[in-house]
Each structure stands twice: as C-alpha cells, then as structure tokens.
Amino acid sequence: MNRRYFILLVLVALVAGGALLWREAQNGAVPEGFALSNGRIEAERVDVATQFAGRLAEIMVREGDMVEAGQDLARLDSKQLQAQLREAEAGVRAAEQGLAEARAVLAERQSALTFARQELHRAETLGERGYAPGETVDMRRSELASAEAAVASAEAGIATAEARIEAARATVDRLNADLADYSLAAPRAGRVQYVLAKTGEVLPAGAKVVTLLDLTDVSMTVYLPTSAAGRLAYGAEARLIFDAAPQFVVPASVTFVASEAQFTPKYVETAEERENLTFRVKLTIAPEILAVYRNVVKSGVPGVAYVRVDPSADWPAELAVNLPDGG
C-alpha cells in the first residue's frame, strides 16, 4: 500500500509540476510589446427577410451553399401582384388612348378657332364697306371667343391626359419594384448558414427566410486589459492562430476598440480575471486573404490572437505569417 501511495504522490507531483511549467511557458510566450487573448472567428451575418407578407413559393438554396451577390434565394407567390400589374399596364394603355383622343379634340378646336378668326375678318371687312350689320360682327367676335376658350380647354385636357399616363406608369413601376422584391436575392456573396422557412409557409412582412455569412468580412473579437488596450492604435497588426490548425499564422488588424471598459466576459474561467476591466477589440482579416480561402473559412472556430501594442516591436519568427497553400 505504501508503494502505491508513493507512486500516486509522484504522479500528482509530476502533473502539478507539468502544469506549473506549462503555465510558466505560457506566461513567457508573450513577447514584449505584444498582448495575448483568445476568441472565436466570426463572419458578418446577414439576414435575408421578406419585405411583404405572402406565401413562400420556392426556396432555391440549402444550408451550406455558396451564393453570389444578387443570386435568388427564395421567392414569394406573386400571382395576385402580377394580376395587379396587368391591370396597371392596361391603365397605361387606356391613358395613352385618352391622350390621343385629347389631341384629336385639340386639333378640332384649333380648326374651329381658325375658321372663327376668318369669319370675324370677313364680317369686319364687310362691315367697314357697309355690307354687314354690326350685329353680325359682334356675333363673329363672340364665336371667336368661344373657339379660343375651347382650344384652351382642349390644351388642358391634353395636360390632364399626360398626367394620367404618368400616374399609370408610376403604378406599373411600383408594382414591378414590388414584384422584384418578391424574389429574395442575396445582398452580398457568402455561405448560407440557415434556411429559416419552408415552402408553403405564409410569412409576415419582415420574416427572416435565409441567413448568410459574409466570408469577406471575418473577424475575431478579443478582450484586452486596460494596459494593453490603452496602447492600441487602429490598424495595429495582429496574428491569429486557430485551435483547429495551429501550424498556420493568419494576419489581421485592429479595426475596432471599445470606447468604454467592461468586465471580462463570463466565458473567462477564473473569478480573478473577471474582476479586471477589459476593452473589446475587433481583429479583422483582410478581404484579399479571405477571397483566397473563402471555401474553407468557418465561423465559430476558436483560437488565440497576438496583438502588437508597441509599433516598434518586431514579430517573433514563430509568429511570422504562415498561410496554407491554395484555397
């Protein structure tokens, strides 16, 4: 029994000593001028939602699919809207016909005006020679005034017909725009993370149908103590090492530093660390790197980040950028 206890004590001592050595190695692993923190890779999430209420007629993608900007993801049933569009297009044609009729009326009124002017001229000429009584001249002047009023009315009718056409065409444009919104298109390229609705469901306006991950906007959020965050500058360099691929070192840069400190998040294990105030810092991977490795980028992968808080500090050789071959 004594022998067993001795062996057990030796094992406990070895484990404790190993843990102590590991912690010392970790504490000494952060070079001067750098800060170390942990986090998870997160891609910008984009929710694609309906603008109008309606029945979901078709879903064109599955979870995990890569999509391009502008690609159709889903479509609402648009039969009723298409009927309204046909009605509006018929209204445009009717308004155009009304304009043609108004122009014909104007031409008729202008012809009558020309005739009235000629008749007045004849009556005035005959009156000057004594061949036409004054009543005839007055009647011709009255007819001319009526013809001028008729022309003015016909011209107003044309303006009204043109306004009707413009209103009818605006209705068609609005319905076409609404019809386009019945097809839910990807606002940017990315990977489908979730499909949140099923074909045949009646959805309210604003219902989320598909969630995309923008793989050109990927970052890691870390929390740094005041001593490190206070020295950070926007654009400061960082290096990310992921648990799933520790042999690679991915470059990033500081794109956000919180303006106010907060308590360290709950996922930090020790109560002592939670007593410290930290600043939230966002480390963003360059889009040109993400474009190459878009097919292998995964959201939620944990890792560690080394952030250079002293611009004059040189990166250690073991933290030199090391990216995998290809994408």
pLDDT tens column, 96-114: 999 999 898 889 888 888 9
pTM for the structure as a whole: 0.65
> Bigger pLDDT: 166 or 29?
166
Instruction: Kindly write down the DSSP assignment for every residue of 160-201, as one continuous string.
Output: HHHHHHHHHHHHHHHHHHHHHHTEEE-SS-EEEEEE---TT-
Beta strands per DSSP E along the chain: 34-49, 54-59, 66-67, 72-76, 183-185, 190-195, 202-203, 208-225, 237-242, 245-257, 262-263, 277-284, 302-308
pLDDT tens column, 51-81: 999 999 999 999 999 999 999 999 999 999 9
- How far is residue 23 CA from its own chain's centroid? 46
Strand arrangement of the beta sheet that strand 183-185 belongs to: 183-185, 72-76, 54-59, 202-203
What is the predicted pLDDT for the residue at 240? 94
pLDDT beyond 60 at 11: no
The position carrying tokens 């250079």 is 308
Q: What percent of the chain has pLDDT over 70?
A: 86
Amino acid at 130: G
Neighbours of 225 (CB within 10 A): 16
Tokens matching residue 122: 């004849």
pLDDT tens column, 118-177: 987 888 888 777 777 878 878 888 888 988 898 888 888 899 999 999 999 999 999 999
pLDDT bin (cut points 50, 70, 90) of residue 216 is confident
Query: Between the CA atoms of 152, 156, 158 and 160, what dihedral angle is there, to the nearest 10 degrees?
Result: -170
